[in-house]
Each structure stands twice: as structure tokens, then as C-alpha cells.
Amino acid sequence: MVNLRPMRFFLTLVLLFFPLLSSQAQTIGEEQARAYREEGYRLQSLGDFQTALSYYQKAVQIDPHFYEAYNDLGVVYETLGNDEEALNMYKKALDINPEYLPAYTNLAFLHENIGNIKKATFYWKKRYLLGQEGSYWKEVARQHLLKLGTYPQVRQEMLEEEAARLSRELIYKREQKKLEKIEEAKLHLDLGNRALTEGDYEIATKEFRTVLSLNPPDEKLKNKTRELYAQAERLYFRNQALANTKSALDYIKSNDYLSAGDKLEEALTAVFYITQEE
């Protein structure tokens, strides 16, 4: 009777290690494919397109899902004048990865160059819609769609974007003017405060009046200014009343009653104004 245990053990080991070995082999193959692609790109940049082509072909033979290498093949075929094969390679790249944007760009350029406006529009539209907002190639796609005039939505989008931009700029300018007005008002408020502290009530009232004439968009600042303005104005008229009363007394002492009367009238006017404000 044949002992099957060693054979079963061997088969178990194979089943256990086969996925690991397969994974390692795949990794090595992908690394080799990338190495071939890098060499192909180096040769392509040197203008050796035929040799570059052979390296890209080796890359996809090792890794049939290497969509970047298929796109590279398309570029080289197109450079060599083989548009049909270039189209096949670009489409192959997209079959593997439908979100690989460079292939859409290359297909759009190629169809536009050969005069197939319908397909060029299709691929430029795909490149535009899949592109990241603000990116270079999204803008390139938009400009080509505008030039072709076959995708009117992009013009509408641009008009809407322009309107939104102008609106943002207008809002920004308004906000800047508000800030500038507030800063100017604060400057005059500080000057008025300083004059008020130093007892120069005439200058203080002028500065506070300037703040209110600016009408800064800051209610708290305006309310504070109104309070200080009323205080400075009251003190100003009080000083005017005192000064005019003193002048009137001096005129009485010198027997100039007419001038004394004028000064007393001015003093009473100042007093009347103060009582009206209280």
C-alpha cells in the first residue's frame, strides 16, 4: 500500500507558499517593468524613439496593466507618425485606468491635429471635467474647448466665474474702504482724545467732528466719539463763557460798557448752549 502522507504534506506546502512566491514574482516583474519604462523615457528624451519604443513594449509585456507605459507608447508612435497605433495605445491606457488624465489630453491633441473636431471635443471635455479646479491642464482643456467652440457650457462657466470674481473683487474693495475709513476715524479719535486730555477743547471738538463726518462703519466707535464730542464741546463752551465773562469784567473796570455788554452776551450764549445740551 502506497503511503500518501508525504505527497499530501508536499502539496500542502506548495499551496501555502505559492501565493507568497507568486506575489514576490509579481513585485519583481513590476519593478523590472518600471525599469524598462524609465530607460525608455531616457532614450525618448535623447531622441532615440525606436529604441525607446522597444523598452516601452518590454514594459507592457512584463506588466500588461502598466497603463502609463501604454500612454508612453502612444506618444512615441504619434511622434513617429503612426497615429492609428498611437490612438490604440492611448485608449488601451484608458481601458486599464479610465481616470488617467494624460491619455485624455493626448487623445484630444491627436484628434484635434488630424481634424476630428467631434472626438477632440469629447476628450477635451473629459479632460476638463475630470481636471482639478485651478490646475494647468484643466485650463488648457478649457481654452481648447473655447477655441473649438463646440462646448458652449464652458463659455457660460467662464462668464459665471468672471462674474463671481468681479463680485469678490468688489466686495473686497468695499471691505478695504471700510477698513481704511475705520483706521482714519481711529486716527482722528486718538488726536481728539489727546487734545481733550491736554485741555485743548477746540481742537478736540474739531477732531471728533471729523470722525463723525467720516461716518465709519463701526457703531461702537461712533457712539464713543459722540460721547467724547459732547464732553469736549461742553468744556469748550464753558471755557468760552468763563473767558468772555472775565473780558466783560475787565471792560467794566475800564468803563467800556459797550464792549462789556458784547462779551457778556457771548458768555450767556455759551451758557445757554451748555444748558440746552444737558
CA 111 remoteness from chain centre: 34
Band (190; pLDDT cuts 50, 70, 90)? very high
pLDDT of residue 41: 93
Say which residue, 132 or 91, is predicted with more confidence: 91
pTM of the model: 0.51
Say which residue, 71 or 6, is predicted with more confidence: 71
pLDDT (tens digit, 9 = 90+) per residue, 151-162? 777 667 666 666
Q: Is the pLDDT of residue 278 over 70?
A: no
pLDDT of residue 20: 44
Task: Give me the phi and psi of 24, to 5 degrees please.
Answer: -65, -40
pLDDT of residue 162: 62
Nearest-angstrom CA–CA distance, 142 and 105: 12
Nearest-angstrom CA–CA distance, 189 and 211: 6
Task: Give me the phi and psi of 218, to 5 degrees please.
Answer: -145, 100
pLDDT of residue 18: 47
- 29-163 classified as CATH 1.25.40.10: yes
**What proportion of the chain, given as a percentage, has pLDDT over 70?**
86
- Sequence spans of domains, the chain: 29-163, 181-277
Average pLDDT, the chain: 85
pLDDT (tens digit, 9 = 90+) per residue, 240-262? 888 888 888 988 888 888 888 88
Grid coordinates of 192:
481728539
pLDDT (tens digit, 9 = 90+) per residue, 19-37? 544 455 556 778 999 999 9
Nearest-angstrom CA–CA distance, 138 and 147: 14
Nearest-angstrom CA–CA distance, 53 and 144: 29
pLDDT (tens digit, 9 = 90+) per residue, 79-130? 999 999 999 999 999 999 999 999 999 999 999 999 999 899 989 988 988 8
| Mean predicted confidence (pLDDT) in 268-274 | 79
- Give the torsion through C-alpha atoms of 138, 141, 142, 144, to 10 deg: 160
Grid coordinates of 250:
475787565
pLDDT of residue 12: 56
On whether the CB atoms of residues 209 and 193 are closer than 8 A, the answer is no
| Mean predicted confidence (pLDDT) in 182-200 | 90
